[in-house]
Structure 1
Amino acid sequence: MLRSRWSLVIGLGIPVIAIVVVPPFIANTQVTVFGIPFLFFWMFAWFPLTSVCLGISWFGFDRRHYLTPDGAQS
């Protein structure tokens, strides 16, 4: 069960915190990245970063649970 908890934390917890919890704290900053307000940069950066988190979760924790004994995926 510990493996699935870490899978959930990495695959869902980190993106949810980054997309739901952090933006209110950075919404009033005047910082820009390449001329884009930091809040927009943050939100758009998390599109691919969420996929990276899901990939880490899959390859690191969940993939082996879906492999057949001969090594092929079911």
Structure 2
Amino acid sequence: MSNEAKSAIVAIGIPFVGVLGGIVLLAGSGTTVFGFPIVFAWLFLWMPLTTLCLHLAWTLFDRDEFEAAERADAHDADAEIGGQS
């Protein structure tokens, strides 16, 4: 499996399954958390968890490729500037 696919699974797939799975499982529950229905608490919980998933996808799969492309662009720009002098 490519890093792009792994990144998409972590960044999009896990939060998607987490949010929808919680809605399906908790929608009929009368339980409350701090006065909110548990399904809302579950959705609120997934806001920072989604951010964490995005961070993990970036750190584990995307950062090295992005930094390599940035270095190549900087090197090309330096070579172009050096060739003009």
TM-score range, shorter chain: 0.7 to 0.9
* Identical amino acids, percent of aligned pairs: 33
Q: Say yes or no: does 1:58 pair with 2:58.
A: yes
1:67/1:41 CA distance change after superposition, 3 Å:
same
Match of 1:10 in 2: 10
Q: How far did 1:34 drift? A: 2.5
Unaligned runs of 5+ in 2: 75-85
Indicate the structure (1 or 2) with the bigger Cα radius of gyration.
Answer: 2
Deviation digits for residues 11-44 of structure 1 (CA, Å, limit 9, x no counterpart): 0001111223430221011222223211010011
TM-score computed with the length of structure 1 as normaliser: 0.80
1:22/1:2 CA distance change after superposition, 3 Å:
same
Q: Highest relative contact order (Cα 8 Å, sep 6+), 1 or 2?
A: 1
Task: Give the Cα separation in 1 of the matches to 2:70 and 2:14.
Answer: 33
Of 43-52 and 25-34, deviating more is 25-34
User: Number of residue pairs matched?
Assistant: 72
Moved >6 Å (runs of 4+): none
What code does the residue aligned with 1:36 have?
F
Unaligned runs of 5+ in 1: none
Match of 2:40 in 1: 40
Task: Give the Cα separation in 1 of the matches to 2:13 and 2:70.
Answer: 33
TM-score computed with the length of structure 2 as normaliser: 0.71
